[in-house]
Amino acid sequence: MEGYERITFSFIAVCLILFLPPLLDGIARKIKAKVQLRQGASIFQTYYDIMTFLSMEPVYPTERLSFRLAPYIAFASAVSAALVLPYGKVIPVSFTGDIFVFLYVLAMVSIAYMIGGFSLNNTYTNTGANREMMIMLSIEPVLGVAIGTFALNAHTLRMGAIPFAVTFTVSVLLAYALLAYSVYVEGGFIPFDVAEAEQEILEGTFCEYSGYLLGIFKWALMIKRFALLWLLSSFISIPPIRNVANGTLGGALILITQLIVLFLLYAGIAVIESMNARLRIDHIIRKNAGVFLCSLAVLALAALGW
Amino acid sequence: MEELFTLTVILYFLSILAVLPLRKNYRVSIRAGHVLTGLASISLLAFTIGALPEVLKGKAIEFTYNLGVAKIPFHVDGLSLILCLVLGSLGLATSIYSPRYMEFYERFGRGWLYVVLYSTFVLSMVLIVTTSNLLWFVFFWEVMTFTSYVLMVWENDEEYVRKAGWKYFVTMHVASTLPLIIALAMLYAKTGSIDGLNFDNLATLHLGSLYYILFLIGFGSKAGVVPLHFWLPDAHPAAPSNVSALLSGAMIKVAVYGLIRMTCFILRPTETFGYAVAILGTITLTVGTLYALKQTDAKKLLAYHSVGQMGYIWLGVGAGIALMAKGGPWAAFGAIAMAAGLYHLVNHAIFKGLLFLSAGSVLYRTHTRELNILGGLAELMPLTALFTFIAAMSIAGEPPFNGFMSKWMIYQGTFLSGNGLLVFCGVMALFISAATLASFVKFYTTAFGGVPTALTENAEEVPASMLLGKGFLAALCLLFGLIPSSIIPLLLAPGKTLTGVDLSGWISTKYWLVTIRAPRMPSGGETYFNPWLLVGVLGVLVVAMLISYPNRPKRVVKVWTTGEPVKHEHYKLRAMHYYGPFEEYIHGLYHSGEALSDWGSSVCSTTVKGYLTLGRTLLRWAEKVERSVSSAGRWYVENGKEVYLDEAVASPFIQLITGLGIGLEEVSLNYDLLLVIAAAVLGLIILILVGW
């Protein structure tokens, strides 16, 4: 029974990781269109886009290996990171349970994006890569404070264990807000999408990618967003039902709650996105630094046990 | 086991002797010298591996060299062995790398002197980390400082090299050697004999907090801890790259060894001291790395990162000391935190050594280390590019390389400490890890990415021996990243000795799986990481995608310039433009840092000036006294009746005393005057003594 449960949940997880992100993107596009009083494309449009890209032979601007392998690395890292998250009570491939390893593996998506962008003599790809790094730099301390608060409260760094062990205090509630903010910024949602800004810098690094390389890369980025939001959704959905969710059925209950929260989060994000315009990179840095300085108060609260 | 150690020492001495007859031939002398230093390093590594089983049982290897006039006692335990491993691997890599690299410096000649200095330098470090007597420790410490200084100013026709060397020399003597000598003198006064300065004897004394401060300053300045780091970013790049690798890779680690040995094994770990070390480490890693972010000189960038990474090591060690002092279940967790710091020590030695050797390779082929004008080397130097990439990802802390494992353990040690202050230190460490990544993405992509520039287009791969030296270090980066169990037991040894706690319930390593438990952790909350499984998953996914979407460039076109005719070299971000907005945002830090560094160098130069003025004044006084005495002597000789040699020498004093006696008879009742004169004479004698 144990084994079957594991296999079933893992299979569902892999399907979710690979095939749900384009649908989420399609739904978000539809919501944005509706908010902006546009008709909008079908919610399956992102699938059609990805499939079109994947069917086309790419044109290369260089034969450099670092450029050619970047999309594959990005894809593999995004999927690997998503595989260590809890789906129900099952972790599909548990090479770790630790939140830092998850974040570092997920960061490899960004690294692939940067190495790909910087390995060319093209100001547009360089600028995209440059901005990606600066966003990461400015949001990392906020994320750190959120994790630090959880660690002080729950005494563990295991993603599957924190939502089960966390006790709700003021600092933990604020840490949720910080985590949500970090996830939003790391995910590169509007107004923080400066690294892949289409109209401004020709989509940054994507400017030189085409065909299935572009398709794989875009897919990887969507999976990265999915992984970040799945982490947040797990943190939100498990604590309220952790006492009732026992056995296989409990696992299924958690999985369904995770999915519902994920959809709600994505819809909320789409609404925020539709009502905002892209920020400038220096504004983003200033904003994140401000959030970090405020977040130190959260850490102080957590240290006091509040 | 100690035979292998003795063999190492003998081989280093042999390398010094072997080059003396070869003084005429630059290349042969360096080659012969490095063959012997390479063998010495292998012997040291063999000693390390051979001593491992004993040391893991908690025992130490003890032996004494009896030199007739003096005895040098040695005590090799886990902590010493960690440093032996670092010195052996780095020594081997530089010994393989250096013969060809040093051709670059042939115009300076004196290859034999280089080998003598190199061997003495490395040997002094080996002896520092193994001796168990404070007097010898300080003696070897000074030998290390002096030889490293001479190696540093090897390129002495450059003004900046001489300046950097001088800064190093003065700072080290004022801020590192002096506190150590004061501590040594005070301890000698307490124990009264050289044998009394043995570490096990010192450990029985009750020593006050002054010693903590002296050791903190003495080792902190050598390790380049902020605010005593200002010499390091100038000094390390000034040396030839192979020496820089040893300076950044090994020498500053010896300071960490000294800190742990003195403050944990001789003094006792205390919580306050632990927090002080952790906070200093956090400040150091933040300041050092954020400064590194804006460097465009390859070696200067690396040197600033040495400061930054040193901060990580101090943070791990400091958290370890604080938690061990806390006692109870935290003692075991403290041992893990200290092991994390030591893990980073080993890893930093390896990847920073490799990075300096890579920067040296670029310098060797392109004659520049300015990242703004480099570019496109990945095409021309593919293996160097690969090794640099491995090292860059290691230092940036990306899995599955070694830098990640140690940083990960440092995060565990700080975030799970249950202490707000240490968690904050961990947050900063996480942030700075991103800054390190930024810096090394820049380092790698500016030198190796893009299209070759006019300067680099004729570059070619460096000779095989240089590649071999780097490849060895790159392999170690992978080994310590993928198989943590190969090193973690050794790293835990010092903590085990200090706490006397069984750690098996807290940390376990099975080939590649590491599991860590912390006190107060909920059940099922222990963290674990299996790098092989990660590599497996990544590998399977990449290969699967490569099979489905094969990557064979059929159509290669020029980059898209939106239709504008732009030249390649005008169409790439230069190193100085990377992360501009971010650097602009934190320019306040740079500004205050510069003010601080100006202040530091002004203090340094004022100290030097003050010392020189004092010395000069004393000399002038001494000269005056000498002149007056000798002129009095001459007067006596010229006017005396009979002159003999002994009389000529002694007569001025006799005359003086006779004269004084006559004078004193007159004033024999005036004791006050007598005292004043006596004091004046005494003062004069002291002045003369000091002056000479």
Mean pLDDT for A122-148 is 89
Assigned domain for B389 exists: yes
- B199, part of any domain: no
Q: Report which DSSP code applies to B72.
A: E
* B72: in domain: no
Task: Kindly list the residues from chain A whose CB atom is less than 8 angstroms away from the CB atom of residue B412.
Answer: 157
Distance from CA of A66 to the nearest CA of B (A): 9
Nearest CA in chain B to A126: B573
Are residue B505 and residue B630 in the same domain, yes or no? no
Half-sphere exposure for B220 (CA within 13 Å, toward CB): 24
CA B572 to CA B166: how far, in whole Å? 38
The answer to whether the CB atoms of A121 and B572 lie below 8 A apart is yes
Is residue B275 situated within a structural domain? no
Residue in B428, B529, B561 nearest the CB of A98:
B529
- Same-domain status, B500 and B383: yes
Residues B556 and B641 in one domain: no
- The letter for the amino acid at A16 is L
> Nearest residue on chain B to A140, judged by CA atoms?
B431
Nearest to B271 by CA among B315, B313, B319: B319
What is the rounded CA–CA span in Å between residue B188 and residue B196?
8
Q: Do A69 and B445 touch (CB under 8 A)?
A: no
| Residue A270 or residue B498, greater confidence | A270
d(Cα B583, Cα A281) in Å, to the nearest integer? 12
Please indicate, yes or no, if residue B13 is contained in any of the structural domains: no
Q: Are residues B566 and B607 in the same domain?
A: no
Tell me whether residues A61 and B556 touch, CB distance under 8 A.
yes
Q: Are B234 and B321 in contact (CB under 8 A)?
A: no
DSSP codes joined into one string, A40-52: ---TTHHHHHHHH
Residue B363 lies in a domain: yes
> Do residue B528 and residue A96 have CB atoms under 8 angstroms apart?
yes
pLDDT digits (tens, 9 = 90+) for A13-63: 888 899 999 999 999 999 989 988 888 889 899 999 999 999 988 888 888
Q: Is A104–B434 a contact, with Cβ atoms under 8 angstroms apart? A: no
Parent domain of B670: 602-691
Q: Check A66 against B378: CB less than 8 A apart.
A: yes
B581–A281: do the CB atoms touch at under 8 Å?
Answer: yes
pTM score, whole prediction: 0.87
Longest Cα–Cα distance in chain B: 115
**Is residue B581 less than 8 Å (CB to CB) from chain A?**
yes
State how far residue B236 is from chain A, nearest Cα, in angstroms: 27
Tell me, yes or no, whether B544 and B418 share the same domain.
yes
User: Closest Cα of chain B to A240: distance in Å?
Assistant: 18
Say whether both B556 and B608 belong to one domain.
no
Residues of A in contact with B528 (CB under 8 A): 96-98
Which of the listed residues B534, B550, B572 is the one where a domain comes to its end?
Answer: B572
Nearest to B503 by CA among B614, B304, B339, B635: B339
Residue B21, number of CB atoms within 10 A of its CB: 11
**Per-residue CA distances from A275 to A22, A31, A70, A194, A300 (Å):** 22, 11, 33, 16, 34
Q: Over 90: is that where the pLDDT of A3 sits?
A: no
Enumerate the residues of chain B whose CB falls inside 8 A of the CB of residue A94.
533
Cβ-defined contact of A66 to B449 (cutoff 8 Å): yes
The answer to whether residues B292 and B356 belong to one domain is yes
SS3 B91: helix
Residues of chain B positioned with their CB less than 8 A from the CB of A72: 541-542, 545-546, 551
Q: Which chain B residues are Cβ-neighbours of A282 within 8 angstroms? A: 581, 584-585
What are the φ/ψ torsions at residue A231 (nearest 5 degrees)? -60, -50
Which chain A residues touch B340 with a CB distance below 8 Å?
Answer: none
Chain B hits for A120, Cβ within 8 Å: 449-450, 559, 572
Strands B513-516 and B61-66: unpaired
The token pair that represents A179 in the structure block:
């985590």
Residue among B427, B518, B522 whose CB faces A144 most closely = B427
Closest Cβ–Cβ partner in A114, A216, A299 for B424: A299
Mention every residue, 6+ apart, whose C-beta is less than 8 A from residue A11. Answer: none
Which of A62, A72, A83, A95 is most worth mutating to test chain B (most B CB atoms within 10 A of its CB)? Answer: A95
Whether B580 is in a domain gets the answer no
List of chain B residues whose C-beta atoms are within 8 Å of the C-beta of residue A76: 537-538, 541-542, 545
Judge: A76–B542 Cβ closer than 8 Å, yes or no: yes
How many independent structural domains does chain B possess?
Answer: 2
Pick the last residue of a domain from B556, B572, B588: B572
Whether residues B406 and B360 fall in one domain: yes
- How confident is the model at residue A121, as a pLDDT? 85
Do B654 and B533 belong to one domain?
A: no
Q: Do B578 and A130 touch (CB under 8 A)?
A: yes
Confidence bin at A1 (pLDDT 50/70/90): very low
Specify if B440 maps to a domain: yes
Minimal Cα–Cα distance from A124 to chain B, Å? 9
Residues of chain A contacting B423 with CB distance shorter than 8 Å: 148, 151-152, 299, 302-303
Q: How far apart are CA B8 and CA B36, in angstroms?
A: 10
Residues of chain A contacting B522 with CB distance shorter than 8 Å: 154-156, 161, 164-165
Verify whether the Cβ–Cβ distance B527 to A282 is below 8 Å: no
Q: Check if the beta carbon of residue B328 is closer than 8 Å to that of residue B499.
A: no
Chain A hits for B378, CB-CB cut-off 8 Å, are 64, 66, 119
Chain A: give the shortest CA distance to residue B539, in Å: 8
Tens of pLDDT, residue by residue over A101-120, are 899 999 999 999 999 888 88
**Touching check for B461 and chain A: CB below 8 Å?**
no
Residues of A in Cβ contact (< 8 Å) with B542: 69, 72-73, 75-76
Q: Give the minimum alpha-carbon distance from B551 to chain A in angstroms, rounded to a whole number.
A: 7
Residue A153 corresponds to which tokens in the numbers above? Answer: 């409260």
Q: Which residues of B touch A104 (CB under 8 A)?
A: 397-399, 404, 408
Tell me: do B562 and B622 sit in the same domain. Answer: no
Q: In this complex, do B399 and A101 lie within 8 Å of one another by their Cβ atoms? A: yes
| Token pair belonging to B138 | 């300080």
* Phi-psi group of B461: left, alpha or beta (phi > 0 → left; psi -120 to 50 → alpha; rest → beta): beta
Q: Are residues B568 and B607 in the same domain?
A: no
Q: Comparing A97 with A284, which gets the higher pLDDT?
A: A284
Q: What residues of chain B, 465 to 524, have a C-beta less than 8 Å from chain A?
A: 518, 520-522, 524
Q: Is B438 on the interface with A (CB under 8 A)?
A: yes
Q: Are B307 and B339 in contact (CB under 8 A)?
A: no
Closest approach of chain B CAs to the CA of A36, in angstroms?
A: 31
- B355-403 pLDDT, tens per residue? 999 999 998 888 888 888 888 888 888 899 999 999 999 999 888 899 9
Q: Hey, are the CB atoms on B537 and A80 less than 8 Å from each other?
A: yes
| B556 and chain A in contact, CB less than 8 A | yes
Which residues in chain B have their CB less than 8 angstroms from residue A137's CB? 431, 434-435, 438, 579, 582
Question: Greatest CA span in chain A, whole angstroms?
Answer: 58
What residues in A contact B411, CB-CB < 8 Å? 100, 157
- Same domain for B562 and B661? no
Q: What's the whole-number mean pLDDT along residues A170-196?
A: 88
Interface test with A, best of B285, B383, B389, B411 (most A CBs within 10 A): B411
Chain A hits for B582, Cβ within 8 Å: 134, 137-138, 285
Residue in B468, B465, B460 with CA at minimum distance from that of residue B31: B465
Give the H or E element holding residue B364: helix B329-366
List, for chain B, all residue ranges whose pLDDT scores fall below the cut of 50: 667-669, 692
For residue B156, the distance in angstroms to the closest alpha carbon of chain A comes to 37
Q: Is residue A212 within 8 Å of residue B549, measured between CB atoms? A: yes
Is B431 in contact with A144 (Cβ distance < 8 A)?
Answer: yes
φ and ψ at B675, to 5 degrees?
-65, -45
B416 CB within 8 Å of a chain A CB: yes
Gap between the Cα atoms of A225 and A239, Å rounded: 22
What is the Cα–Cα distance from A256 to A244, expressed in whole angstroms?
14
